[in-house]
Amino acid sequence: MSGLPLSAIQAGQVLTVGLGAPVVSGVIATVEARMQGRRGPRVLQPFYDLHKMFRKESVAPIGSGWLFLAAPVIAIASYLTVPMLIPVLTTYPLPLATMGDILGGGFLLSFASFLVAVAATETGDPYAQLGASRAKTFGAITEPVLLMVFFTVAAVTATDLPYALGETVRSGPAQVVRPSHLLATGALLMVILYETARIPIETHTGTNELGMIETARPFEHSGPYLALLHWGSMIKQLVLFTILLNIFAAPWGMSSGTHLLPVLGAAGALIGKSVLLGLLIAALDNSFAKLRLFKITEFAAAAFLLAIFAVCTLFLGGG
């Protein structure tokens, strides 16, 4: 039996992230509702919501420019580019995997977030501008954490290619329990908690203006553009989960060949691992009372300290 073309596998990585993201979000939302004693939505509810929004009319605020409508399209294109750079289904790099490193993937995620924030400021809506301002203010604190985590990765593997780090972690148990690796993984997990609005400050679906960040930026978008923003947010969550799981924490379950069944199995393994991680994060989210907004700086500072400790342990403690 001949294997799949590498280009088809690479397209499969993009489709796995694009179509799997609503599934992961739906499972997390359903289980999270059960944790709170509610019936909650259906697992496939994100697909129904996206279908409904894609069928509605789009309305742009008076005075908004072309970037208001272009930002959701560019943002989701940026999110879907990252799966070409990171190990999603295979342990070996695919043809376009070397066009950017893990730092380039981080820049793409930041670029998409920046465009959405700029589009929100064009609306003139105070809530949208408030969410954009908060997102960029706190993003300026969390982005250095990512840089320090990626620097630790580069120091461990002598390269900043994500496939190389995954191969290093799979090489033996000693790599998994390496102190610098554990600290960097913890720092990355804290950044993911912020980026997916799961930190104990706001609810990721809340509309309370005192604490909302992620839900405020798309306030003025509607129709297909709002659907792209919601879909992009789910894709971004799964991309971050994939980086944490397939590069740092659990880089197993991926295909080492090109045959169809192992590739499909790798897609199922990624969705399963992402659901388990999402449920763990949801349990953490529901275990803490919501804190005041300014506590985000302390949360981000703790993540940055973990990343600093990872570097210090690597170079000074033999970690």
Report DSSP letters for 193-222, one per residue.
Answer: HHHTT-SBTB-TT---TTT-STTTTTTT--
The span from the CA of 215 to the CA of 197, in Å, is 9
Whether 185 is covered by a domain: the verdict is no
Q: What is the pLDDT of residue 221?
A: 78
Whether 155 is covered by a domain: the verdict is no
What is this structure's pTM?
Answer: 0.88
Q: What is the pLDDT of residue 104?
A: 79
Measured in whole angstroms, the distance separating CA 319 from the mean position of its chain's CA atoms is 27
List the structure tokens of 150. Answer: 């990626």
Higher pLDDT, 79 or 143: 79
Over residues 167-221, the pLDDT tens digits come to: 877 777 777 777 887 888 888 888 888 777 776 555 555 544 445 666 767 777 7
Which whole number is the average pLDDT over 143-165?
A: 76
Q: What is the pLDDT of residue 252?
A: 84
Whether 111 is covered by a domain: the verdict is yes
Tell which phi-psi region holds residue 309, choosing left (phi > 0), alpha (psi between -120 and 50) or beta: alpha
Higher pLDDT, 61 or 243: 243
- Average the pLDDT over each of 29-43, 48-62, 149-163 and give the range with the smallest value: 149-163
Whether 235 is covered by a domain: the verdict is yes
- Average the pLDDT over each of 1-15, 69-83, 91-105, 244-258 and give the range with the smallest value: 91-105
Give yes or no for residue 290 having a pLDDT over 70: no
Whether 77 is covered by a domain: the verdict is yes
Cβ neighbours of residue 165 under 8 Å, at least 6 residues apart? 102, 153, 156, 157, 247, 248
Segments forming the whole domain that contains residue 74: 6-140+207-290
In 89-216, which residue ranges form alpha helices assigned H by DSSP?
102-121, 126-157, 162-170, 173-176, 179-195
CA distances from 294 to 142, 199, 211, 291, 303 (A): 14, 12, 10, 8, 15
In 36-125, which residue ranges form alpha helices assigned H by DSSP?
45-54, 66-81, 102-121
Whether 162 is covered by a domain: the verdict is no
How many distinct structural domains can be found in the chain? Answer: 1
List the structure tokens of 244. Answer: 């944490």
Q: Which amino acid is at 281?
A: I
Whether 186 is covered by a domain: the verdict is no
Per-residue pLDDT band for 13 (boundaries 50, 70, 90) equals very high
Q: CA-based Rg of the chain, rounded to a whole angstrom?
A: 19
Which whole number is the average pLDDT over 16-35?
A: 90
Which whole number is the average pLDDT over 58-69?
A: 79
Whether 181 is covered by a domain: the verdict is no
Which whole number is the average pLDDT over 271-279?
A: 91
